[in-house]
Amino acid sequence: MSGGWNTIESDAGVFTYLIEKLGVKDVQFEELVTLDSDELKRLGKIYGVIFLFKYPTGEARSDTPKDGSFDHDAANDIFFAAQTIQNACGTQALLSVLLNKDGEVQIGKDLKEFKEFTQEFPPEFRGETLSNSDVIREVHNSFARSSPFIDETQRTATEDDDVYHFIAYTSINNTLYELDGLQPAPISHGPCTPQNFPDAIVPVLQRRINRYPATEIRFNLLACVQDQRIRAREIGDQEALEEQEEKRSAWLWENALRRHNFVGFVGELMKGVVKAKLAQGEGAYDKWIEDGKAKTRKRMEDKRKQGIASDGID
């Protein structure tokens, strides 16, 4: 069930501008390409990690987690929400980090009011309240990729479908928690201060990834960190600052492209090209088609010859 929530990409630029639009200040997301604590430490202040993975839809729920232990008492003491909407899990994961860091991060008026309103709710009601939040849903949907076609995610997933799920890892009250809205409670992975989070999270993630077949490579890791421009200014690194500004500009452009589908544009462009060819006189359109076919045949022939030549050299 989508409940009016569209699918968004697991992308650092999407998540960074999504939380900014929700009112969060001085926070960004960085994609992690390696499981290396030193790489995490180089990012400066880290609030948590978002992990995207292929979810085994046919797997039965267990009374105990495969790693760590359920902390049912913490479910009411920290922000933990049950997932009630499939397409909302990306936004829910990033909120699971940020709403537990409101003492360190400026989360903005809307998220502050949302957290205060749901503070005494059990996880199930928090999840329902999140899925029914017009403010959060509208911001979330504004980063969905525009498409003129039927969205297959609007139907209930079956065991044969590839379903992807987001979970959050963060240090709360000096404990490393895994916050997964599909689990009955937060999962504790033992003592962890914010300072040793980079060292503590890596083995937890490695154990998680090792549970999947070696051929499964569809994972994505995003670190929730302090705005990297702040750190660059503090240490006077002008080159790093310019690099971050360029990255922000690229993210802004990519997010703008996501909000538009170009099917209509391409259709009108093709109409214009065909009209221009027809205006060149009788037979111009047919000649254009035949010229195109001839060029395609030549490219294929050239590739075939190159292949023969390569085989001969080997």
Distances (CA, A) of 41 to 6, 106, 186, 293: 34, 22, 25, 56
189 is catalytic: no
Cβ proximity of 143 and 18 under 8 Å: yes
- The three-point CA angle 228-248-37 to 5° equals 35
Give dist(CA 149, CA 283) in Å, integer: 35
**From 140, 165, 189, 192, the catalytic residue:** 165
Cβ proximity of 82 and 126 under 8 Å: yes
89 is catalytic: yes
Longest dimension (CA), the chain: 80
Q: Residue 52: phi, psi to the nearest 5? A: -105, 130
Give dist(CA 30, CA 112) in Å, integer: 24
Give dist(CA 269, CA 197) in Å, integer: 52
Cβ proximity of 98 and 20 under 8 Å: no
**From 89, 140, 189, 192, the catalytic residue:** 89
Give dist(CA 222, CA 10) in Å, integer: 8
Catalytic residues: 89, 165
